[in-house]
């Protein structure tokens, strides 16, 4: 009971100098936070830049290779501090495929996404995306992570249009579009993800699930040929997550980009992917590569049917074995 009044007394007892220092610290803190958020967003924008695929028609029928890892391995650091993250890996993903990567924590799933996006370089081997070896700056993708990075002072509509507005290659790609058409494009996507009428709201007025939907719209606004998704629904509750599976599936069926999804959720992988790669424990290698042929559009109810449960059990057994082998040092 005595504690609260003491705090109140201390706060009200701040001297002018203390208040000024506190104000300055607050200002610095807020500016730094806004700067970090902006840097994250610009980083994503830069990744979406250089989109050699953007503007090309979506794949139909034939399926050329979209992503190819040839004997690619990754070791972070050197000498005594070297961390082998990815064993020598060969993986081919066709244009328009939806591939999920699953495996024990720390096995190198995100490292594969980073290789494909150009954020990391292979220690050995090559990574080819869209027929070209990935160079540090050649990033031609839309990306979505677990935590959406939206600029809090911009409306959702403006956040979604950001790639079209600030990144020159997209500006030229969409040069023929007028401002109102940009807006129409953003709003059409918002409607597709069930956010019709929310374009004028600010990010802080939306729930986590709504923000992640808007995030998907921003990843798709420049019509990327490839989407890299790193546990995009990991922070959401089960029901919102299931709802977003349906939305992402619909977006994929409509736009047909190549998707590489990292997830820990085996139901999510089975619901969304046309192919699932299971990885061993670190340094990761692909233990199993299975096609998933369930009819589309898939529904949540289907994930409780025997065939689906059997797939889940098969994937789970691989991961349990991989974890056991890692623990026993096999």
Ligand X SMILES: Nc1ncnc2c1ncn2[C@@H]1O[C@H](COP(=O)(O)OP(=O)(O)OP(=O)(O)O)[C@@H](O)[C@H]1O
Minimum distance from residue 130 beta carbon to ligand X (Å): 22
Among positions 44, 85, 150, 193, the unique one binding ligand X when judged by CB under 6 A: 85
Question: What count of Cα atoms within 13 Å lies in the side-chain half-sphere of residue 20?
Answer: 3
Provide the H-helix boundaries in 134-255. Answer: 156-166, 168-173, 179-192, 208-220, 238-255
Minimum distance from residue 75 beta carbon to ligand X (Å): 9
Q: Is 89 in the site for ligand X (CB under 6 A)?
A: no
Find, among 150, 152, 118, 112, the residue nearest to 135 by Cα.
118
Minimum distance from residue 319 beta carbon to ligand X (Å): 11
Among positions 109, 158, 241, 267, the unique one binding ligand X when judged by CB under 6 A: 109
User: Near ligand X by CB under 6 A, which window of 76-84, 165-173, 204-212, 215-223?
Assistant: 76-84
Which is nearer to ligand X, 32 or 83 (by Cβ)? 83
- Give the count of residues interacting with ligand X (CB under 6 A): 13
Minimum distance from residue 38 beta carbon to ligand X (Å): 23
Q: Is 122 in the site for ligand X (CB under 6 A)?
A: no
**Contact (Cβ atoms closer than 8 angstroms) between residue 234 and residue 267:** no
For residues 161 and 222, give the distance between their C-alpha atoms in angstroms, rounded to a whole number. Answer: 9
Rg (C-alpha) for the chain, rounded Å, is 22
260-279 residues in contact with ligand X (CB under 6 A) are 262
Q: Is 285 in the site for ligand X (CB under 6 A)?
A: no
Which is nearer to ligand X, 64 or 77 (by Cβ)? 77
Q: Is 110 in the site for ligand X (CB under 6 A)?
A: yes
CA trace torsion 240, 245, 248, 254 (10° rounding): -130
Minimum distance from residue 77 beta carbon to ligand X (Å): 5
Indicate if the alpha-carbon torsion angle 75, 45, 51, 196 is positive or negative: positive
What is the per-residue binding string for ligand X in 203-242, x denoting contact by CB under 6 A? Answer: ----------------------------------------
Strand residues in the chain grouped as ranges (E): 65-76, 83-94, 98-102, 124-129, 132-133, 142-144, 226-230, 258-262, 275-279, 286-291
Which is nearer to ligand X, 140 or 282 (by Cβ)? 282
CA trace torsion 195, 198, 202, 208 (10° rounding): -30
Minimum distance from residue 54 beta carbon to ligand X (Å): 27
For residues 281 and 211, give the distance between their C-alpha atoms in angstroms, rounded to a whole number. Answer: 32
Give the H/E segment covering residue 27: helix 16-48
Indicate if the alpha-carbon torsion angle 181, 184, 190, 193 is positive or negative: negative
Minimum distance from residue 85 beta carbon to ligand X (Å): 3
Which is nearer to ligand X, 111 or 117 (by Cβ)? 111
Among positions 23, 26, 28, 77, the unique one binding ligand X when judged by CB under 6 A: 77
Minimum distance from residue 146 beta carbon to ligand X (Å): 9
| Residues of the shown chain interacting with ligand X in the complex, contacts defined by CB under 6 A | 76-77, 83, 85, 105-111, 262, 282
């Amino acid at each position: 009971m005595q504690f609260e009044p003491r705090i109140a007394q201390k706060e009200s007892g701040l001297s002018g100098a203390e208040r000024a220092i506190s104000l300055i610290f607050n200002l610095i803190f807020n500016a730094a936070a806004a700067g970090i958020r902006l840097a994250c967003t610009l980083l994503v924008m830069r990744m979406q830049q250089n989109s050699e695929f953007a503007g090309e028609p979506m794949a139909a029928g034939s399926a050329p290779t979209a992503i190819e890892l040839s004997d690619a391995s990754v070791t972070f650091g050197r000498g005594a501090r070297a961390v082998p993250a990815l064993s020598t890996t060969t993986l081919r993903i066709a244009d328009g495929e939806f591939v999920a990567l699953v495996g024990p924590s720390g096995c190198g799933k995100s490292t594969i996404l980073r290789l494909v996006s150009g954020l990391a370089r292979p220690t050995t081997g090559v990574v080819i995306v869209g027929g070209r070896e990935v160079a540090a700056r050649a990033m031609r993708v839309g990306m979505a992570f677990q935590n959406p990075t939206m600029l809090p002072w911009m409306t959702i509509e403006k956040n979604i249009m950001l790639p079209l507005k600030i990144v020159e290659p997209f500006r030229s790609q969409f040069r023929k579009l007028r401002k109102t058409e940009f807006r129409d494009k953003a709003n059409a996507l918002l409607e597709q993800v069930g956010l019709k009428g929310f374009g004028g709201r600010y990010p802080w007025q939306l729930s986590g699930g709504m923000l992640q939907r808007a995030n998907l719209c921003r990843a798709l606004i420049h019509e990327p040929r490839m989407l890299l998704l790193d546990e995009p629904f990991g922070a959401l509750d089960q029901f919102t997550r299931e709802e977003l599976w349906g939305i992402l599936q619909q977006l994929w069926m409509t736009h047909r980009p190549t998707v590489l999804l990292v997830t820990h959720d085996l139901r999510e992988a089975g619901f969304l992917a046309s192919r699932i790669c299971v990885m061993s424990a670190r340094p990761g290698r692909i233990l199993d590569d299975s096609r998933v042929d369930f009819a589309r559009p898939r529904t949540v109810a289907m994930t409780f049917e025997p065939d689906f449960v059997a797939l889940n059990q098969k994937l789970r057994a691989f991961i349990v074995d991989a974890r056991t082998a890692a623990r026993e040092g096999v």
